[in-house]
Each structure stands twice: as structure tokens, then as C-alpha cells.
Amino acid sequence: MAFGQLYEAVIYERLLELTKLNPNCIAVKKGGDIQWNRTHSKLGQNGLFYDENGAIVARGNGQDLAEFDLLVMNKQGEIAFAEVKTSGNNLKELDKVIDYKKRLLEFLFSKPTQFVLISCIELGNKPVIKRIARKPSNFSTVTAKLNEIRTYLTVKDVSNLNLPPNHPNGLVMLSTLKTRKINYLHLHNQCREELINALINNRTPDFRSDAWLIKRIIMGHLNKSSTKRLFEEMNIIVNKERLTPESSSIFPRFVLALRVPRLRPEIYLRLPNIGTYLKMGPVTTSTFKFERNIRSKSTAFFDWLETAEPGIGLELLNKFLVAYLINSVVGSRKKPGESPDIK
């Protein structure tokens, strides 16, 4: 992880050198060049922000939708972004991630967007990279290996981190960029309403054309009857142990959500007395396992879960699980592009 951050920082510095040589190009500040305007995620945040580490992130109602390793534009306002890779791990859905980021930037800036994959290893033989390379607005480049790059760095290169940055011409702050406004929560609630109506009326949901922006639909928290049904019929596994209907009483809150566009159900269990939710994801048609923690100090998504609307009763829960649990588990075994998506 540290090597990845080092490599990304080196590529960023190289990008700044290139923008000095080309007066038509402007890079967006990040990392150590950001001394102010770093923000913790909060409900209501929409658009581009710097997170607490100085990374460039896009947020919808405080939820992080995408992170951009590098962001550059020309004087005509055309945008390019880069993904910086040091290994071939976690590439399974990179093409979908890139498509989403590109579409998001085109939505925000109303301009064509290009993508560059920058890596210190050869990834061109990976099927997912071949899919990315087929699109004419996508590009890739391979640099020297990371161990070779490290030999170029000296103590002097990293000893003056507290000095003010000196890039007056080729750098801009996110706050200076004019972008389209997003009312992410309003769009989310419309998608949620359409999903619930479709379940009640046993039909396929007909989402708005801009519903692709939504990463996750938070259905709401379960009432007592639906909670009992969930723990009786499903295997909810935490620390390799199945929770029983009796043990479920220690959790004060259960929130149901649907990850899109994969249409994958998720369950969030609120731990008592501490600001943490346990995110549970399906591994079979009857089993949910722990995936990660959602902590109140690190994300506004926790606050969103806390304010999720009530009303997930037994009937709606049954319809939801029948409609999406089987598709989610079976779809995860299909080839890319075969599982149902929100277009």
C-alpha cells in the first residue's frame, strides 16, 4: 500500500513537470499541495471534494462515489483522468469502474473525457485491460519498474515536505472548477420509490435515464417482523458464527440496501453503543457474511444509514429477497456483462 502511494506521488510530480512544458494543460492539485479545503464526508455534499488525505473524490450526499488518482484538463475544458497501478490485483471490474468515472466526469463538466492507465508493470495481457483498451478515448502507458524508480529518489527529494508548493502556472484547485450541480439525494429517493413500487406490483423497475449515477439504493430499516424472518430464514454469519433470532436482539437497527448496477442486496447491522455498522453481503442464496465496518468517524454514509426511512415489512422483504438475492449470487458467477445492470 505504501509503495502504491509512493508511485502515485511520483507520477503526480511528473505530471506537474509536464504541465510546465505544455501551457495548454492544467493539472488539479492534490495530496501535499492541498493545505486547506480538506473535508470529512458530510451528508449533503455533492460534487468534487478533497478528502482528509488530499485525494480527489466525487461525492453524492456525502457518500464517496469515485476517487481520481490524477485529474488534468486543457484550456478548452476537456478532461482526462488517470488510474495509477502497481500490481495486477483487484482488476476484475476495473472496466466498469472506469466507465462510471468517465461518465461521471462527462456529466459534471459536459465535456468529452479521456482516460489513461499508468502502471509500472505490464498489464496489457489482462482480459479486463483489453476491454478497456478497445475504447478509442482510453490510453495506457508503462513506466519503469517501481524498484528502479525508488533508486532515483534521494533523502533531499522527500526532506522538504513542509515547504509551500511552487507550481503557480500549471495547477488549479478543485474549488475553481465549474461543474454541473447534482441533487444526489433527490435522485436516490426517486430510484428508491420506483424500486419499492416495482416490488409491490411485481414488475421490473423503470428507472430514470440518469439513475446510473446512483451507487446504492438504501431501502430502509427493517421492522420487528421482517427482522425475525430474516434471522430465521437466512444465515447471517459474523466471526464464523451464525446469528440466531435471539442474538439479533443485540442489534438496535437493521438497514436493507441494493448495490447498483450489480443489483446486489446488502444488509447493515448497527452495533449497540458504538458508532459502527457491520456490512453484510450475500455469498449464497441463503447466506450473508460480514464484509467490512462502516464507522461514524470516517464516513457520512454512517449518518445516512442512521436516517434511513422505516417501513421494510415482511411482505416487502420477501419480495426483495426473491427478486434480487438469487440474481446477485448467480450473477456473480457469470462472465462480465452477463449480469443485469441499470443502464
Mean pLDDT over 323-335 rounds to 60
Q: Residue 318: is its pLDDT beyond 80?
A: yes
Q: What integer pLDDT is reported at residue 164 of this predicted model?
A: 47
Mean pLDDT over 183-211 rounds to 94
Q: What integer pLDDT is reported at residue 264 of this predicted model?
A: 92
Q: Residue 271: is its pLDDT beyond 70?
A: yes
As a whole number of angstroms, the distance between CA 44 and CA 192 comes to 18
How does residue 105 score in pLDDT terms, banded at 50, 70 and 90? very high
Q: What integer pLDDT is reported at residue 299 of this predicted model?
A: 81
For residue 200 the three cell numbers come to: 409491490
For residue 337 the three cell numbers come to: 456483462
As a whole number of angstroms, the distance between CA 58 and CA 338 comes to 28
As a whole number of angstroms, the distance between CA 238 and CA 135 comes to 42
As a whole number of angstroms, the distance between CA 222 and CA 315 comes to 11
DSSP string, 218-264: EEEEE-HHHHHHHHHHSEEEETTEEPPTTGGGG-SEEEEEEETTTTE
Q: Residue 167: is its pLDDT beyond 70?
A: no
Q: What integer pLDDT is reported at residue 30 of this predicted model?
A: 93
Q: What integer pLDDT is reported at residue 2 of this predicted model?
A: 79
As a whole number of angstroms, the distance between CA 254 and CA 149 comes to 48
Q: What integer pLDDT is reported at residue 335 of this predicted model?
A: 37
Strands 113-119 and 79-85, by their bridges, are parallel
- Model confidence over 122-162: pLDDT tens digits? 999 999 999 999 999 999 999 999 888 888 877 665 555 55
Q: What integer pLDDT is reported at residue 278 of this predicted model?
A: 95
In the chain, the domains with their CATH numbers are 2-176 (3.40.1350), 184-331 (no CATH)
Q: Residue 340: is its pLDDT beyond 50?
A: no
- Considering only residues 272 and 189, tell me which one the structure prediction assigns the higher pLDDT: 189
**Residue 261, preceding bond cis, omega within 30 degrees?**
yes
Q: Facing residues of 294 across strands?
A: 277
As a whole number of angstroms, the distance between CA 130 and CA 249 comes to 49
34-39 contacts, C-beta under 8 A, 24 or more apart: 34/173, 35/164, 37/173, 37/174, 37/175
Q: 290 by DSSP, 3-state: which?
A: strand
Q: What integer pLDDT is reported at residue 36 of this predicted model?
A: 77
Average pLDDT, the chain: 87
As a whole number of angstroms, the distance between CA 248 and CA 7 comes to 45
CB 119 within 8 A of CB 84: yes
Alpha helices in the chain (DSSP H): 2-21, 94-109, 127-133, 146-152, 184-200, 224-233, 301-306, 314-331
Asked which of 24-28, 120-124, 333-337 is least confident by mean pLDDT, the reply is: 333-337
Amino acid sitting at position 315: E
- Percent of the chain's residues with pLDDT above 70: 90
Q: What integer pLDDT is reported at residue 291 of this predicted model?
A: 94
As a whole number of angstroms, the distance between CA 30 and CA 69 comes to 9
- Model confidence over 178-194: pLDDT tens digits? 999 999 999 999 999 99
Q: What integer pLDDT is reported at residue 161 of this predicted model?
A: 52
As a whole number of angstroms, the distance between CA 263 and CA 259 comes to 5
Distinct helix (H) and strand (E) counts, the chain: 8, 17
Q: What integer pLDDT is reported at residue 159 of this predicted model?
A: 53
Q: What integer pLDDT is reported at residue 55 of this predicted model?
A: 93
Q: What integer pLDDT is reported at residue 23 of this predicted model?
A: 87
CB 56 within 8 A of CB 48: yes
CB 228 within 8 A of CB 261: no
CB 281 within 8 A of CB 291: yes
- Model confidence over 211-240: pLDDT tens digits? 999 999 999 999 988 998 899 889 999 888
Q: What integer pLDDT is reported at residue 265 of this predicted model?
A: 95
Q: Residue 166: is its pLDDT beyond 60?
A: no
Q: What integer pLDDT is reported at residue 248 of this predicted model?
A: 81
Report the candidate in 142, 168, 151, 185 with the shortest Cα–Cα distance to residue 309.
185
- Percent of the chain's residues with pLDDT above 90: 61
Q: What integer pLDDT is reported at residue 76 of this predicted model?
A: 87
Report the candidate in 31, 82, 84, 28 with the shortest Cα–Cα distance to residue 55.
31
- Considering only residues 135 and 296, tell me which one the structure prediction assigns the higher pLDDT: 135
CB 267 within 8 A of CB 256: yes
Mean pLDDT over 200-219 rounds to 93
Q: What integer pLDDT is reported at residue 334 of this predicted model?
A: 39
Cross-sheet strand order for the sheet of 56-60 = 46-50, 56-60, 63-68
Q: What integer pLDDT is reported at residue 169 of this predicted model?
A: 63
